[in-house]
Each structure stands twice: as structure tokens, then as C-alpha cells.
Amino acid sequence: MKEFLNTLFQASNERLKNPLFFSFLISWIVFNWKPIFTLFLSDKKIEQKIIYISDNFNGADTTLYYPILSSLIYVLALPYFTWGIEILVIFAKTGRKTNFNNEQLSDLKWKQKIAKEEREYEHERAGNIEISALNNKITELTVSNEEKQKVIESLRIDLTELKKEKNKLEQYISLESPDEGDYTDEQKLTLDKEYESFLKTEVSTYFEQIGTEISQFKSIPKNTDPIIIEKLIFNGLITKVDDIENQRIYYLLTQKGKYFWKNYVLSKNIITKEQLESLNDLPF
């Protein structure tokens, strides 16, 4: 008996758990609440209640059809209705999330724009600082360059003065007439040999004219071949003097040149006045 009751209870429990049965039970109670309330709450006797219920609530539509239809609608349509609700909820959540993400994205875009403007500002600010530093550097270099130019100009003036002093010393040394006593016998012998060799060169033919012009006017005869002048300079017979102070160039005989010139002049024969007059008296 106990097992039978347990089996009956389990079967009843399973039926009650069946959604169709449960929904039918609920629907039947909803459509038949009046006879239920009359049965349990009315003051009439039970026989009168049964007669009253049988006379007024015996329609098959409320006792069978409407509960079955509503239970079927509940069992079959409710999942779709729930699904639709869930879709609407998901759509609403997705929309809210989309709006939230769009708002975050908009904020990020504004932050990016602000960061870009700040970066450009910092770049321009750094550029202005760099330009200012460069301008200061240029100013310092300009001042330093001006000071160096002053130093260079001062050195140039000093150099010019030194060149003038050098030229004066060279002129003084060149103008000094060496005495034969200044040369040793060996030096004179060497100079005489050089003089004899010099007389055999083609340049010696111009030595008389050039030596005369230099000794008298410190200049070179016009139309003289520059090669001849250079050879005389390289032989150490004449020197070129650049007079910067007076802005002119002149030539002087060196000590060796003066020695050669002295020998050259003394070796020349001079025609006497009588010989010159006799030559002038010739009929031809």
C-alpha cells in the first residue's frame, strides 16, 4: 500500500510538473473562479451550491475549451513571446552598449584631437625655443666674427708696417756699398770666376744697359725682356723691391751685382775728348 501511494504520488507530481497540465489547471481556475468561490465561500448548503453551480456554470466552453485553448497558447506561444522579449532586451542592451561605445569613441576622438593640438603646440613651442637659441648663437657668432675681423685688421696693419720696415732694411742693406776689404781673397777669387763665367752668357750683353739704369734711376730700361730680368734676379745680381708705402716697384743691385758692376765698369775703355773730336773731324 505504501509503495502504491508513493507511485501514485510520483505520478501525480510528474503530471503536476508537466507544463501543459499545470497551465490547464491554472487556466481552468481562472475561467471557473465564480463556481469555485461559490463552492467554498457561499453560505448556502452544499445541495444548494451544487444545484446553483449546475444551473449557472455548466457550459463546456468555460470548463473545457477556454482552459485548453489558453493552456495551449501559454505552452506554445509563451516561449516565442519570451524569445521576442529576450530579443528586444538584447536589442536594447546592444543599443545601449553601442551608444556607450560611440560615446567612448567620440571621447577618444576628442582626446586624440586635443593630444594632436597639444603635440603641435609643443612642437611649435620647441621650434620657437630652438629658433631663439639659434638667433642667440648667430648673435654670438656675429659678435665673435666682428672681434676676429678687428684682430685680423689689426694684424694686417701690423703686417703692412712690418713689410715697410723690411723694405726699408732691404733698401738700407742694398744701398750699402761693400768695400773690397769686406771680401776675403778666396771670396774675391770665387766672385771673379763667377764674373768671367757671367761674361760668357747672353745675359751679360744686357748688363751694361740694365746696370746703368739701375745705378742711376733704380729702374729697368723699357721693353726689356722679362726673362732677362728674371735671370739677373736668379743669378743674384739685382733684387726687386716692392715699396708698399709709396706704391711703386724699383730695382737695386745686390752686393754681388755691385761687385760685378764695378768690374764691368772698370774694364771698359773710355774714349778721350781728343779722340772723340778727331772722330768728329773725319770727312765721312
pLDDT for res 60: 74
Residue 276: inside a domain, yes or no? no
Q: Is the pLDDT of residue 271 over 70?
A: no
Which of 71, 101, 131 finishes a domain? 101
Taking phi over 0 as left and psi of -120 to 50 as alpha, with beta for the rest, 177 belongs to: beta
Q: Which residues pair with 242 in a beta bridge?
A: 249
Average pLDDT, the chain: 79
Residue 245 located in a structural domain: yes
- Residue 198: pLDDT band (50, 70, 90) is very high
State residue 7's pLDDT score: 63
Q: Mean pLDDT over residues 104-128, rounded?
A: 84
**238 domain residue, yes or no:** yes
pLDDT tens profile 131-145: 888 888 899 898 888
Q: Is residue 139 part of a domain?
A: no
Domain count, the chain: 2
* pLDDT digits 0-9 by tens, 46-62: 888 888 777 777 777 77
In a domain, 237, yes or no: yes
DSSP 32: T
Beta strands in the chain (DSSP E): 238-243, 248-253
In a domain, 133, yes or no: no
- Boundary (domain end) residue, out of 75, 101, 127: 101
- Indicate if the pLDDT at residue 86 is higher than 80: yes
Give the whole-angstrom CA distance, residue 25 versus residue 17: 11
Q: Identify which has the larger pLDDT, 128 or 255.
A: 255
Quick check: 277 and 201 in contact, CB under 8 A? no
Compute the average pLDDT of residues 265-283. Answer: 68
Instruction: Tell me the percentage of the chain whose pLDDT exceeds 70.
Output: 80
pLDDT-derived band at 123, boundaries 50, 70, 90: confident
Over residues 212-240, the pLDDT tens digits come to: 999 888 899 988 999 999 999 999 999 98
Q: At what angle do helices 185-199 and 255-266 cross, to 10 degrees?
A: 70
For the CA atoms of 56, 59, 62, 65, the dihedral, rounded to the nearest 10 degrees, stands at 180
Which pLDDT belongs to residue 15? Answer: 52
- End-of-domain residue from the set 61, 86, 101: 101
Query: What is the spatial distance between Cα 257 and Cα 259, in angstroms, rounded to a whole number?
Result: 5
Whether residue 150 lies inside any domain: the answer is no
| Domain range enclosing 52 | 13-101
CATH of the domain at 261: 1.10.10
Residue 175 lies in a domain: no
Q: What is the pLDDT of residues 18-33, one digit of tens each?
A: 677 777 778 888 878 8
